[in-house]
Structure formats: structure tokens, C-alpha cells
Amino acid sequence: MKRWVRIVLIVIIVLLLILLVAPLLVPVPPLEDTVPPPQLADPDSRFVDVNGLQVHYKIAGQGEPTLVLLHGFGASVFSWREVMEPLSEIGTVIAFDRPAFGLTERPLPPFIPPNVGGERGGESDSPYRAEAQVELTVGLLDELGVERAVLVGNSAGGTIAMLTALAYPQRVQALVLVDAAVYGHGGSLGLVRLLADTPQMQRIGPLVARRIRTWGQDFARSAWHDPSQITAEVWEGYTKPLQVENWDRALWEMMRASRSHDLAEQLAEIRVPCLVITGDDDRIVPTEQSIRLADELPDAALVVIPDCGHVPHEECPEAFLQAVTGFLDKLP
């Protein structure tokens, strides 16, 4: 073997060893000044055990219809602050924090299967999986004595709303899909999953998740048509859950649990009335995708809100409320 070939091989082997070993040696300092979720609760916060998980939720109003609000990635019940009270004048409104976000409990692996004592579970028991979040949504309805509900889901919360309607059609009266995440990302999610399950990434994953403090603000600005509306008070509301213990590890577990669910191929099976709402300047889930979603669902109306981004319930609450109340008025 020629000398230069040997040198190249040695360099490649050394680089591979560095890539494999270095992440395992990176120190992961513990988070400081974190607290259990209940210590950050608001006066109107409530907690309930659902499938072995302490779920944080808020409830307002009474009577029917019952609306269940499911927030998107990086958000919490805080994201519904502009519309929850007005919606409560129509019926009962329930907003809850999905696992890995807000003040809902953040369990860490090894996970324990729901309603099973003693023996430890594995990754399939992760509460961060979409399937587990569907069960959590229905379990919350059971705990609160709700037979059927209108599910209102923003972005990834829209994904959970649609998966719930597919799995439990008898429990879903209608869907309001706010810039719902449906199309694309299948290949990229597979690559993320492949990398996330390596020992190296499992080691440094929490450090990756902590970077949300940096890129999260840019992400939030891109979600609004007019980011100047993100005041210091709004940003404080967004970041308050980053004081919860183990928030970084739980966020990484949620990212590890991400899957592609081929929702685009199942839209014809969603038979409940749907309202698709989008801003005309959505840079997270492009507006064209919401227009396509309304066209491909069997029974859907579409509202495109002008001068609005990915979170119309926050940025354009009056137009959002007008669209939702008009839709609800037409339900059987």
C-alpha cells in the first residue's frame, strides 16, 4: 500500500474515532434554578392525572359545545390567552399542555407503561409519541366527563387533533385546524430519528435542546407576520416553562419520538366537519399547504386571514374568533 494511501486511511480513522468518542466525553452540566411544574402555576391552573401523567390544563365557560385547544411546538396553554375567554362565552373551553411543553409533567426514560405497575417499559411507552398524545387527549376528555369535543389544533397540535379524529371519530364533533402540520417532513424526520437514537446524540441531545433559548426567538419571529407584536411580556410567557425541571431532556425525548404519520394519505377518512384557518403569510407551514388541506378534506371550509402569520389566534385574534364562531354556529 502506498504511503499516501496509508496516511489518508489513518486520518479518516482518527476523524471517525473523534466523531464517535468526542460526543460521549462532552460534559452536560445540570440545569440550574429549575423547579417542579406546580410551582410555576397560574391562579387558574389545574392539574389532573391522565394515563399516569400529571397534565396541566385550564378550563373556562360551561355547556356545549366543548372546545379542546391543542397548541403547537414550543408553545403552551399561554398561546391561547387572547381567545380562550371569548370562546368561553360560546361553551366550555379546555386548553392543556401537551407532553414536553408548558407545565405538564415531563417523565424521563425508562418509561413506565400507562396503568401498569412494576415492570419498566421502553421507547414504545414514551408519552411524547403522537399516539400517546392521542390517548392523552381522549383520556383528558374522560377525566373531565366530556363525551364529544371540537378539537382546535395549531400546527403540530393540528396533527394530534386529526390523529385523534381518525382513532376516535365518535369523540370528535368537529375540527378547527389552525395552520396544521400535515404535508412533508417524512424523510427529514427519518434522518433525525436515525441520528437521535445514536449513543452520541442521546448524550448531547439535551445540550441541543437547550439551544432553543437562542433559536427559539428567531423561530417565534418567523411565526408572526408582524414580529413587533412579540413584546417582552409575550416572550416571558413563551419562555416561562423553561424553568421547569428536566425541560431540556423532555424536549429531546419529544424530538426523538417524532414520526411521520402519512396524514396526507388518510384525509379522506376524516368525516367530521372541519374549518381550516391560516394566515396569508405563514412561513412555518406555508399557506399553500393549508389551502391544499381544505381542498383534500371531505368536509372543510377555509379561512385565510390577511396580514397574519402562523399563529392567528395570537396575532389576529378578532379575525380568528370571527371564523371559529361562524363555523360553530353552523354545526348540527
pLDDT in tens, 266-275: 999 999 999 9
For 48: left if phi > 0, alpha if psi spans -120 to 50, otherwise beta; the answer is beta
Look at the domain 42-113+122-329 and name its fold: Rossmann fold (3.40.50)
Alpha-carbon gap, residue 65 to 331, rounded angstroms: 10
Q: How confident is the model at residue 116 (pLDDT cuts 50, 70, 90)?
A: very low
**Does the predicted TM-score (pTM) go above 0.75?**
yes
Domain ranges of the chain: 42-113+122-329
Q: Do the beta carbons of residue 61 and residue 69 sit within 8 Å?
A: no
Q: Do the beta carbons of residue 102 and residue 185 sit within 8 Å?
A: no
Residue 183: all three cell numbers together: 404535508
Label the pairing between strands 274-279 and 300-305.
parallel
Task: Cite the beta strand spans of 172-273 per DSSP E.
Answer: 172-178
pLDDT in tens, 38-57: 999 999 999 999 999 999 99
pLDDT in tens, 182-225: 997 543 344 455 555 655 566 566 777 777 777 677 888 899 99
Cα angle for residues 302, 309, 254 (degrees, 5° grid): 95
Task: Single out the residue of 124, 126, 72 nearest to residue 98, CA to CA.
Answer: 72
Q: How confident is the model at residue 257 (pLDDT cuts 50, 70, 90)?
A: confident
Alpha-carbon gap, residue 124 to 109, rounded angstroms: 11
**Element holding 260 (H helix, E strand):** none
